[in-house]
Amino acid sequence: MTLVLLALATWAAGWALASRLANGPGAGTRAVRLGLPLLFGGTALVMWELLVRGLDVPRAILPPPSAIALAFGQNLGTLWADTVQTILKGALTGYALGCAAAVLTAILVDRVDVLRRGLLPVGTVMAALPIVGIAPILVMWFGFGWQSKAAVVFVMVFFPMLVNAVAGLRDATAMQRDLMRTWGASPRQALMALKLPAAMPFIFNGLKICSTLALIGAIVAEFFGSPTVGLGFRISTSVGALALDVVWAAIVVSALAGTIFYGIVALIERGVTFWHPSQRP
Amino acid sequence: MRGKVLPVLAVVAAILLAWTLAAIPMNIREVLSQAEREGATVQGGTAIERRDASALGLVLANPSLALAGWSQERPRLPSPHQVAIELWDSTIAEEAFSRRGIVQSGEFSKKSLIYHGGVTLSATLLGFAFGTALGILLAVGIVHSRTMDLSVMPWAVVSQTIPIIALAPMIIVVLYSVGVQGIIPKAIISAYLSFFPVVVGMVKGLRSPEPSQLDLLRTYGASAAQTLWTLRLPASVPYLFASLKIAMAASLVGAIVGELPTGAVAGLGARMLAGSYYGQTVQIWAALLTAAFLAAGIVGLIGVAERRVLARMGAPA
């Protein structure tokens, strides 16, 4: 009971500190912008630990963060092998191939008007479909290895990326396109000098959306069959063994990988589209 | 409208044609092995040599046998007409003519995709309702409290970089162990996937009124609640609908994935999993297409509602 009260006290203290910081004089500074979310996360972790211990939640239902950290440390080697299998081989390969294919298709679609009018609505519908459903089929075609995961990721990222890239290639205004024409630019020159740079914010938006889709695709595909390594495999077998601390450790790994992946894309975006209003301070 | 329909139809027809043609080389190896067992002469060497040969070459070497690729019982890639027949058999035909169907037994057949689609759809809609309500509440909180804006919003973004679906098996097993089962765990996964688009869209929408409009309400002495009801919420409706469409699609994915790890016996995800275990490819494709029609259908309905509501609210047509 004391622990539960302590948890509530932690929450109150965290909230008081956070509102003090958010409404105080230093609210706009970088330190506060970074510190507040960390404070929130830290408070949530402490509350989780205290509540789980205070209410005697069984380990098989919700392990406390300390147990998860312990499992994470003990299984570092296994989890690293899983990461290599699922993320570096499966997700990244499919992501790179899928996004590249989508951008190339978008360039073609942008060139041919009939394709744009016909393929774009179909692409929009496809982007909204539960594409994870093709995972069992692709696992059947490409086997249990990482190739089938890459194939699932490829199909999952293709349509969202295509829709974004096509929208981006059309973002250059009529005035700008006219300017290209008056200069006598060839279609290729217009593409390289105007359309592709103008499309970059959209393309990076698509890349960011697809970075999370890629992880989801690779993990879900492992539910349908995998070698005895991989994050999805680890999660589904550990759930079966009720080793929930290992499951949470695997989830921490995928969350870390997802955040890092997203962060890298966002960093590259800042370098490439420094001119865009959303990137200016 | 007409300028749009024709190209779309052409693209769909091209996809169907490519699919039909692809079914021949995809299935050629099984077709040839089967023909060989039945005593036909097969070009292209023994079964082992054929395994490494190119599929297209095998089709060209055995043109008369290759067309059987359209009528395999368990094809690697079923042709569209096989899937269409399976769809018809497991919906209309099953319900109308089978003794398990609704016409003769009074309830939907457990073998029909209408029943399985209904199971998935109910979890989808429940999760969608949860997720949307949670998303709108969070967005209202974020817009009104600077503390929440600074400390919660980054975590909402991080929560989406976590492959939520990785949590699905655990959520289901854990809830099962405390006695919650059936539709609720699936709905929770759906809600988790669908709240984020709503939060992002609604925060943008609630902040979309112009400063001059907000100033006007301030001169009227409107309270924060009055500002919310009379200005912010109406202004956010277009953003809400755009997010609802994304959230609905995400919610359906969540419901289907929620059926995968638990060995659920009902629902489209369960049909896919069973089809994958028993090599019933046609069944997987039929379930997949049903899910596609469901998604397109509800997103279309939201689109209709969007047009109606926005027209009533006086948006330019």
- Tens of pLDDT along A234-260? 888 887 787 888 888 888 888 888 888
Average pLDDT over residues A124-151: 80
Contact criterion met (CB < 8 Å) for B166 and A235: yes
Q: Identify which of A121, A250, A258 has the shortest CB distance to residue B8.
A: A121
Residue A95 pLDDT level (bands cut at 50, 70, 90):
very high
d(CA B42, CA B33): 9
Contact B102, B95 (CB under 8 A): yes
- Biggest distance spanned by C-alpha atoms of chain A: 78
**pLDDT recorded at residue B128:** 94
**pLDDT recorded at residue B30:** 80
The residue ranges of every structural domain in chain A are 2-57, 72-279
Average pLDDT over residues A96-116: 88
Nearest by Cα to B272 from A133, A141, A130: A133
Average pLDDT over residues B139-161: 79
Q: Identify which of B149, B167, B281 has the shortest CB distance to residue A137.
A: B281
With a pLDDT cut of 90, the percent of chain A lying above it is 7
Which structure tokens are listed for B117? 């689609």
**Tally of residues, chain B:** 317
ipTM, two decimals: 0.72
Contact criterion met (CB < 8 Å) for A137 and B284: yes
- CATH class of residue range B113-312: mainly alpha
- Report how far Cα B158 is from the mean position of its chain's Cα atoms: 23
**pLDDT recorded at residue A96:** 94
Which of B11, B144, B277, B301 is the best residue to mutate to test the A interface, defined by the most A CB atoms within 10 Å of its own CB?
Answer: B11
Residue B82 pLDDT level (bands cut at 50, 70, 90):
confident
Residue B131 pLDDT level (bands cut at 50, 70, 90):
very high
Q: Which residue has the higher pLDDT, B248 or A122?
A: B248
Least confident range from A62-76, B95-109, B122-136, B141-155: namely B95-109
Contact B77, B18 (CB under 8 A): no
Instruction: Give B-chain residues touching A25 at CB under 8 angstroms.
Output: none
- Tens of pLDDT along A56-80? 888 777 888 888 899 888 988 888 9
Mean pLDDT score of chain B: 82
Least confident range from A65-69, A133-137, B98-102: namely B98-102
**pLDDT recorded at residue B165:** 67
Which structure tokens are listed for A19? 């509102």
Contact A4, A50 (CB under 8 A): yes
Which of A132, A212, A224, A234 is the best residue to mutate to test the B interface, defined by the most B CB atoms within 10 Å of its own CB?
Answer: A132
Burial (0-12, 13-18, 19+ Cβ within 10 Å), B256 = buried
Residue B317 pLDDT level (bands cut at 50, 70, 90):
very low
Nearest by Cα to B131 from B228, B175, B197, B185: B197
Residue B161 pLDDT level (bands cut at 50, 70, 90):
low
| Residue B246: other Cβ atoms inside 10 A | 18
Is A100's pLDDT higher than 90?
yes
Residue in B closest to A210 by C-alpha: B161
Is B118's pLDDT higher than 80?
yes
Query: Is some CB atom of chain B closer than 8 A to the CB atom of A102?
Result: no
Q: What stretches of A87-195 show up as alpha helix (H) in DSSP? A: 92-111, 113-127, 135-142, 146-169, 174-182, 187-190
Is A278's pLDDT higher than 70?
no
Report helix, strand and coil shares of chain B as percent, to nearest 5: 80, 0, 20
Average pLDDT over residues B33-39: 80
**pLDDT recorded at residue A279:** 65
CATH of domain A72-279: 1.10.3720.10
Which structure tokens are listed for B293? 């029609």
The residue ranges of every structural domain in chain B are 2-75, 113-312
Contact criterion met (CB < 8 Å) for A136 and B252: no
Q: Which residues contact B19 (CB under 8 A, 6 or more apart)?
A: B77, B79, B80
d(CA A17, CA A211): 34
Is A94's pLDDT higher than 90?
yes
Question: DSSP secondary-structure letter at B73?
Answer: S
Phi/psi for A145 (5° steps) reads -70, -170
pTM value? 0.79
Contact B24, B67 (CB under 8 A): yes
d(CA A228, CA B60): 39
* SS3 (DSSP) at A235: helix
Alpha-carbon separation of residue B9 from A109, A114, A125 (angstroms): 16, 11, 14
Contact criterion met (CB < 8 Å) for B256 and A133: yes
